[in-house]
Amino acid sequence: MCGIVAYIGKKEALPILIDGLKRLEYRGYDSAGVSVFSGGKIITEKAVGKVVELENKINGRDIPGKIGIAHTRWATHGKPSEKNAHPHCDCGKNIFLVHNGIIENYKELKADLEKIGHKFSSDTDTEVLAHLIEEYKKQVPIKEAVWRTLAHVEGTYGLAIIDRNEPEKIFVARNGSPLVLGVIDDGYIIASDIAPIVRYTNQVIYLEDGEMAEVTPCGFQVTNLKRKKVEKEISKIDWTLEEAEKKGYDHFMLKEIMEQPEAVENAMRGRLVVKEGMAKLGGLRDVADSLRDLERLVIVSCGTSFYAGLVAKYMFEEYAGIRTDVEFASEFRYRKPILNQKTAVLAITQSGETADTLAAIREAKNKGAMTLGIVNVVGSTIARETDAGVYNHAGPEIGVASTKAFTSQLSILALFTLFLGRQRDMSFVMGKRIAEELAKVPELMKKIFKDSQKIKKIAKKYSGSSDFLYLGRKYNYPIAMEGALKIKEIAYVHAEGYPFGEMKHGPIALIDENFPSVAIATRDSVYEKTLSGIQEIKARGGKVIAVATAGDKSIEKLVDDVIYIPKTLEMLTPLLSVVPLQLFAYYFAAGKGLDVDKPRNLAKSVTVE
Ligand code: G6P
């Protein structure tokens, strides 16, 4: 969590830093701050809230300077306030730094430093770093002081540090929190991810854990914990600036919902071989033989990506015959997972940086299991640390609430089902059928968008409701959970996602005329059972919004409102049924004037445990 950006070069730093912070804001927006080397001094400005508050505070004031660091915060230690906003500094106000991550042993370090006279001005864990560097600097040069500090701390960090006495340098270091160094014509821009970098260059260097770079306007040198020089390769990024901008939509979230047909298309491009009823997944080529022998898959993920994993369980078990367990990454890593040579652990993650998912993958590796990833962000830590994997190619997802990454994940999971299934018992005929239906999904999604205004009206009709129950069975049970998560995240409305069959074991007690339900009632193998559940709600005076299959006129008599989706294979229904739920949550929240792209208390990339 948190976003950091730093610039060193020939241009004015402040505008680059502010622009960079705005692009990283989805990582947290509790406060923002900047420090710029200006006329031999370091000038720092901080403000509570979003980056725009920082801009208002600076209010056009010229802070000339060609080196600077900046931070947008998602609070962990210490409440959102100016004093807790980064950059933080030492007692002598020489060393300024920004930090993404958590220093776990900060309490002990702080107590030790206080004993020897250091005065702290914030409640953060980060500040100990500045004081420790200050302390070591009494004996050794700054670079070594940073190394000694890092050797002393436990936890995670992406760090950028400037020292008033070294006006031509920025030190950046990484352990567990991402850090990318962009190489531009006349300098360097360093950030937590490529979003602030992409408008200046497509040439980047990914720092690894345990590496530090000393960056000057004319060059950089990367060293490792042993103080040994590391040669780094320059990678090329393929996201354009335009892809990261709003394209005229009111919110990134709406733009990303509308981009889903393209995202699904991109996930399948060159991978779906309809004629052969097969999927070709280049990233799995090297492990294809081991996958043939696989007996069990454990999926680890968080949030929306977790629900993609739950859908995959139904797909893999039904069509590939592979036992699949889906686990919250945050639980998996603290359990005693039973893994063997015939088990692979699959991480599903948009960002590729989620701390719990990363830790789960590392734990699986320790235990000797094969690790796989379905990751959107190219070059992210999980993409690099897994043994093999598949990229989503969904383009940047900026809205904090995940939409297009989810349907992209479902598409890849469907491809993976084909891949694993055809290695096993799945017939050519079945493979071809799935492939043909999957190829049609982008066009079917577009049909749902034609009903956007109807969905908007329904959202308005229910705008007074403060609770919702989302219900679905089988493939649509995870979609009920995802629908509920969407409205919770962006509209701050209480919603529960439940398997429909379980409703009678508890949630039905909540039902009355003020507690509406959203029922996914598509024509599939559990349709009749779903209808019985809807009857049970209606019998208790509850209102029902149904997501139903196009042409199902009879359901209109039973429920209060219907949103139709086109017919597809049952296994692929989630790719369509989730779309109206995303739109419903979006219009519900946007109708109340809420900041749907940056919902309160959330962050897009959760790089803390
Ligand atoms: C955060 C985001 C969610 C996302 C989850 C997992 O909570 O707000 O939208 O689903 O992290 O993120 P990942 O990048 O691992 O998919």
Q: What is the pLDDT of residue 606?
A: 80
pLDDT of residue 605 exceeding 80: no
Give the residue, out of 606, 608, 609, with the most ligand 1 atoms within 8 A of its beta carbon, to mutate for a pocket test. Answer: 606
Q: Is 255 a catalytic residue?
A: no
pLDDT band at 588 (very low <50, low <70, confident <90, very high): very high
| Ligand 1 near 350 CB (within 6 A) | yes
In this structure, what token pair is assigned to residue 236?
A: 């090329």
Which secondary-structure segment (H or E) carries 353?
Answer: none
CA of 295 to the centre of ligand 1 (A): 28
Q: Whose CA is nearest to atom 8 of ligand 1?
A: 604
Contact 30, 56 (CB under 8 A): no
How many CB atoms neighbour CB 440 within 10 A? 13
CA of 353 to the centre of ligand 1 (A): 9
Q: What is the pLDDT of residue 1?
A: 65
Q: What is the pLDDT of residue 245?
A: 74
CA of 113 to the centre of ligand 1 (A): 36
Share of the chain above pLDDT 90, in %: 85
pLDDT band at 448 (very low <50, low <70, confident <90, very high): very high
- Is domain 450-596 annotated with CATH 3.50.50.60? no
The three-class DSSP label of residue 603 is coil
CA of 303 to the centre of ligand 1 (A): 5
* Mean local confidence (pLDDT), 148-176: 94
Q: Ligand 1: which atom is nearest the Cα of residue 351? A: 14
Contact 574, 478 (CB under 8 A): yes
Which fold does the domain 3-237 belong to in CATH?
Glutamine Phosphoribosylpyrophosphate, subunit 1, domain 1 (3.60.20)
Each residue of 370-405: pLDDT tens digit? 999 999 987 788 999 999 999 998 888 999 999 999
Cα gap 219→215, rounded to integer Å: 6
Where in the sequence of the chain do the CATH 3.60.20.10 domains occur? 3-237
Cα gap 270→14, rounded to integer Å: 43
How many CB atoms neighbour CB 321 within 10 A? 13
pLDDT of residue 576 exceeding 70: yes
Q: Where are the beta strands (DSSP E) in 432-581?
A: 467-472, 494-499, 517-521, 544-549, 561-565
Q: Is 604 a catalytic residue?
A: yes
| Ligand 1 near 606 CB (within 6 A) | yes
| Residue of 247, 236, 364, 244 lying closest to 604 (CA atoms) | 244
What is the dihedral sign for C-alpha 335, 341, 342, 345? positive
Where in the sequence of the chain do the CATH 3.40.50.10490 domains occur? 242-448, 450-596
pLDDT of residue 227 exceeding 80: yes
Each residue of 171-205: pLDDT tens digit? 999 998 889 999 998 999 999 988 899 999 999 99
CA of 604 to the centre of ligand 1 (A): 6
Q: Whose CA is nearest to atom 5 of ligand 1?
A: 303
pLDDT of residue 468 exceeding 70: yes
- Cα–Cα distances (Å) from 109 to 44, 116, 120, 130, 474, in that order, read 25, 11, 12, 11, 51
544-549: strand order across its sheet: 494-499, 467-472, 517-521, 544-549, 561-565
Each residue of 102-130: pLDDT tens digit? 898 999 999 999 999 999 999 999 999 99
CATH number of 242-448: 3.40.50.10490
Mean pLDDT of the chain: 94
pLDDT band at 330 (very low <50, low <70, confident <90, very high): very high
| Ligand 1 near 376 CB (within 6 A) | no
pLDDT band at 244 (very low <50, low <70, confident <90, very high): low
Each residue of 515-563: pLDDT tens digit? 999 999 999 999 999 999 999 999 999 999 999 999 999 999 999 999 9
Which of the pair, 606 or 581, is modelled with greater confidence? Answer: 581
| Ligand 1 near 403 CB (within 6 A) | no
Q: Whose CA is nearest to atom 7 of ligand 1?
A: 303
* Direct distance between the N- and C-terminal alpha carbons of the chain, in angstroms, rounded to an integer: 10
* Mean local confidence (pLDDT), 242-266: 88
Contacts of 172 (CB under 8 A, 6+ apart): 6, 158, 159, 160, 161, 179, 181, 190, 207, 212, 213, 215
Q: Ligand 1: which atom is nearest the Cα of residue 402? A: 9
| Pairing mode of beta strands 388-391, 343-349 | unpaired
What is the dihedral sign for C-alpha 417, 423, 426, 428? positive
